[in-house]
Amino acid sequence: MPGSETGDAGQDEVHLGGRSVIGGSADFSLAFGPFHRGIRPMPFNKLGLYSSIVRAVAAKGYGEPTPIQEQAIPVVLTGRDLIASAQTGTGKTAAFALPILNRLGGHKLPAPRVLVLEPTRELAAQVDEAFREFSQFTGLRTALIHGGVGYGAQRNALHKGSDIVIATVGRLMDFLHERALRLDQLECLVLDEVDRMLDMGFINDVKKIVSLCPKQRQTLFFSATVPPEIEAVARFALHDPVRIAIGRARPVNESVTHAIYPVSPGLKFQLLLALLAKTDFHSVLIFTRTKHGADRIAHRLKEARHSVAVLHGNRSQAQRTAALAGFKEGKYEVMVATDIAARGIDVAGVSHVINYDIPMTPDDYVHRIGRTGRAAAIGDAFTLVTPAEASEVRQIERFIKASIPQLKLEGFDYRATPPPSRAGEGDRSELSHPLHANDRNHPHPSRRRA
């Protein structure tokens, strides 16, 4: 199959009906695979992986490969470059990690042979953990490099010698500058979920990193969405790549049911509380557009006696780690986050995603709701929408190629007088990623509440 465009494998008809227009199906295989009834997916040991790796996969509890794994693993094993897209939560990490580990063989000094670039610290930590689990029966070593923590332990890990480095760009550049790390032995470079990084202007750093890698290498790009910027990257970083796109027709996971809740701006928080009270949820991820917005909503939810974690870029690394760990362990039932949490983070059992603020772009919508319904679990995604945001809704619907049902919460008093407004409520001037930092359409300055 190398060299061929594998095309659109995910176009199965979705059963409509149920609670919403998309995602009403209870057929898990739709969400997790395009396999038709009667066609048995291949088990992992048929994909050409060594038994040490297949054993680790079994230890992780995976039965059979997901479609992206089934298609990408053989291609990566051949050593070819690859641009692969598949819905979020469909197992892209293993799709590159397993064949990469296979190609590495045993531990080797002195310099790393694989570099995986990740857009956020949390994602880097998650992918590092996956690599360590998948390589547990090999002698391979990984090093995790990201900002927000001290340099010492990371410098030591690099010094000791790692086969695989998983890194965010900023800290990696620091270590490259101080020559704590060389890339001249690199055999494989992975750009994982970095599409947003590319439009955030990291493209120059990525170029710099690529220029330090040997010309003879394998380069892999994995993401839920293939942004136009990738064509520029393909020109300088990839050589004659194979392209795999799973489920291109529908970038969103079919095991998620979507709903829009129209509401006036002044009643948003009341509606959120009412939704939480009425919904039978296991754990909920709430997205806001701004860091201060996240703090405010979290504070008010705490006042309403919810157990709440907060995750955004202004918090210290220790706070971010504690928030995510507590949310994963179930210590907090709610996590309020900016789009920093929207990329690839895998928390088992997120039953609901609530977009308190409508996402900036349809792409962000896809990434945010990808936090629920992962690995074929069922999840729900609610979006609160004010009348002024109708055109954003249409853009999202166009992007996901489905209409999202608009619902009213029964028993909620939509005509209630909004409570006295709080400073900065609903403002959008401080955006959670720099891409839109110069958006001046929303002039209200936000103030941190005392």
Ligand X SMILES: Nc1ncnc2c1ncn2[C@@H]1O[C@H](COP(=O)(O)OP(=O)(O)O)[C@@H](O)[C@H]1O
Nearer to ligand X, 93 or 446 (CB): 93
**Among 146, 374, 428, 433, which residue interacts with ligand X (rule: CB under 6 A)?**
374
62 is an interface residue for ligand X by CB under 6 A: yes
Contact partner, 165, from Mg ion, ligand X, none, Cβ < 5-8 Å per class:
none
Secondary structure letter of residue 353 according to DSSP? E
Closest chain position to ligand X (CB): 91
- Helix extents (H) in 10-120: 28-32, 51-59, 67-78, 92-104
Nearer to ligand X, 131 or 332 (CB): 131
Nearer to ligand X, 98 or 284 (CB): 98
Report residue 405 as tokens: 């049902």
H or E, element range at 286: strand 284-287
Taking the complex as a whole, the smallest distance from the CB of residue 93 to ligand X amounts, in Å, to 3
Subset of residues 346 to 365 that bind ligand X, contact rule: CB under 6 A: 346
317-to-1, 149, 154, 324, 329 alpha-carbon distances in Å: 43, 6, 15, 11, 18
88 is an interface residue for ligand X by CB under 6 A: yes
Phi, psi of 237 (to 5 degrees): -115, -25
Q: How far apart are CA 168 and CA 144, in angstroms?
A: 9
375 is an interface residue for ligand X by CB under 6 A: yes
**Among 9, 10, 33, 66, which residue interacts with ligand X (rule: CB under 6 A)?**
66
H or E, element range at 211: helix 203-212
Closest chain position to Mg ion (CB): 344
53-to-14, 129, 159, 396, 418 alpha-carbon distances in Å: 34, 15, 26, 39, 58
Contact partner, 62, from ligand X, Mg ion, none, Cβ < 5-8 Å per class:
ligand X
Nearer to ligand X, 94 or 114 (CB): 94
Taking the complex as a whole, the smallest distance from the CB of residue 273 to ligand X amounts, in Å, to 30
Taking the complex as a whole, the smallest distance from the CB of residue 168 to Mg ion amounts, in Å, to 14
Q: What DSSP line would sit under 257-282, residue for residue?
A: EEEEEE--GGGHHHHHHHHHHHS--S
Q: How far apart are CA 100 and CA 47, in angstroms?
A: 13
Nearer to ligand X, 125 or 183 (CB): 125
Of 196, 178, 269, nearest to 233 by C-alpha is 196
152-160 vs 169-177: helix axis angle to the nearest 10?
A: 70
Subset of residues 330 to 349 that bind Mg ion, contact rule: CB under 5 A: 344
362 is an interface residue for Mg ion by CB under 5 A: no
Secondary structure letter of residue 106 according to DSSP? S
First vs last C-alpha separation in the chain: 60
Length of the chain: 450
Contact partner, 375, from ligand X, Mg ion, none, Cβ < 5-8 Å per class:
ligand X
HSE-CB at 384 with a 13 A cutoff on CA atoms is: 24
101 is an interface residue for ligand X by CB under 6 A: no
Nearer to ligand X, 72 or 242 (CB): 72
Nearer to ligand X, 66 or 288 (CB): 66
Contact partner, 23, from Mg ion, ligand X, none, Cβ < 5-8 Å per class:
none
Taking the complex as a whole, the smallest distance from the CB of residue 337 to Mg ion amounts, in Å, to 17
92 is an interface residue for Mg ion by CB under 5 A: yes
85 is an interface residue for ligand X by CB under 6 A: no
328 is an interface residue for Mg ion by CB under 5 A: no
Binding window for ligand X (CB under 6 A); candidates: 58-66, 195-203, 212-220, 296-304? 58-66
Q: What DSSP line would sit under 151-190, residue for residue?
A: SHHHHHHHHH--SEEEE-HHHHHHHHHTTS---TT--EEE
Instruction: Provide the binding-site residues for ligand X, judged by CB under 6 A.
Output: 62-63, 65-66, 69, 86, 88-94, 344, 346, 374-375
Question: Interface residues with Mg ion (CB under 5 A)?
Answer: 92, 344
